[in-house]
Structure 1
Amino acid sequence: MQGFYSKLDSSPGASPLLGARAEGLPVSLALETEKAQALLQTFSSASLLASAGLGVFCVAADHALQLWTVQHHLWLRAALDNATHGIVGLWAWAVVIGLRKRSDVYEVLLAGLLASLIDLDHFYMAGSLSLKAAVSLPQRPPLHCSSLIPLLCLTLRLIMWIGRLKDAWCSLPWMLFVSMATHHVRDAVRHGLWVYPFGNTAPVPYWLYVSTTATLPHLCSVLMYLTGTRDVISTKHGVAIDV
């Protein structure tokens, strides 16, 4: 992943786009060219390799969770399972935004934390801090309802708009989407997706879980492009996402 590249270098050799602008290319056409380049970079070789690595990690982590030692220690199994949720979430978000600055590292760590914290609703539902009670619930806890994902993301976006939060936070709803979606898809292998008010789907085939997790960052990148989130980051902060 190449992460972010600076657009502050005005030398034509530093960027074909900037060189084109220097030659008098209309600003609107230059911006459209830049958008197209950002979209193509979403499927760069580095990004695709990172996504493939994410899929391999999913398989390796799930095999590790099947080890006898892990299966016979409840706390160890729960800790490793939750850690896997977190790593998958942060890895997926790292593919979306790239890693180049220290702030990018903090951002992907936050994505991983969000993916892990979802499981706290098990204890809320159990009304106890007992791990045995938390993993033996008669029904699924609230944050595991997949219908909440678009609702929470849109609500967060609305709150940001009402509060006029800085554009630096414009990707936060997308981070929440990736963190929750990766968690839900992974859980769906065993329990299916809980889509209120329609109920639970059949368990998701394992191959579909791995492929969905690996392609989700690219889907998110395309949606961010279509909704203009990438444009806001690029225009306001002098950087363009290059994953």
Structure 2
Amino acid sequence: MIAYYYFEGGLASSDLAYPELVRAVLPKTLVGFFAAVLFGAILSSFNSVLNSSVTLFGIDIYKQHINKEASEATVVKYGKIFGICLALAAMFIAPLIANAGSLFNYLQEINGIYSIPIFTIIVVGYLTKRVPAIAAKIGIFLGSALYIISQFIMKPHFIGNALEEAKNAGITDAGQLTLVEADAYPHYLHVMAILFVMNCIIMLVIGKFYPRKEAFELRYTEQVDISPYKYVKQGGIAVVLIVVAIYVYFAK
């Protein structure tokens, strides 16, 4: 927001906001130092994600489903191999998204592959007690598959046809073509909302015909004190009101 007002909305892309703002306000003598700090932060974030992925693969996939009798050394070995493959895949994929427009929007669209199915499972899990585990497994795989089909198969097809028809109709202006592209297929947030509802319905239908034998009950182990903060409701309401106020203020 600072960059938008500083440059009066004149940036070609929202991805340029941070680097252009740094170039405009930071003394030139500190640019090199800042680049080193930024590079270190990027490596730190990449390492944390890579280590988390390797741990999840080693413990939750390899140890649980591939080799249940594997020793710790074996799990670490195949975890390292997975980490190397993941890092190489990231390096090869990175140039492909260089011209993806807004990097933030692109990442949010990609995150929908797993975020919506997981969110669906959380919501259904909180609100129901007899939906079985198989419904969650079907929901996460089906939700991811439908989203991939929608965004990477159907969307390019519809947009390509719409742009071709527009060009055949004599439309060559870049702005008008952008509008045609935007109207050719629903926004990925709308697709997420549709798939969220579909996944919920699918999981509830499975729970209706193949319910758990016993209703799930969350058991309190008393290992930690979970007494709620006495002002939790007032604090929650205050946070919600602040967020709504910020949204209303900046939406004007």
TM-score by length of 2: 0.24
More strand by percentage: 1
Higher RCO by CA contacts (8 Å cutoff, separation 6 or greater): 1
Which of 1 and 2 has greater Rg? Answer: 2
TM-score by length of 1: 0.25
More helix by percentage: 2
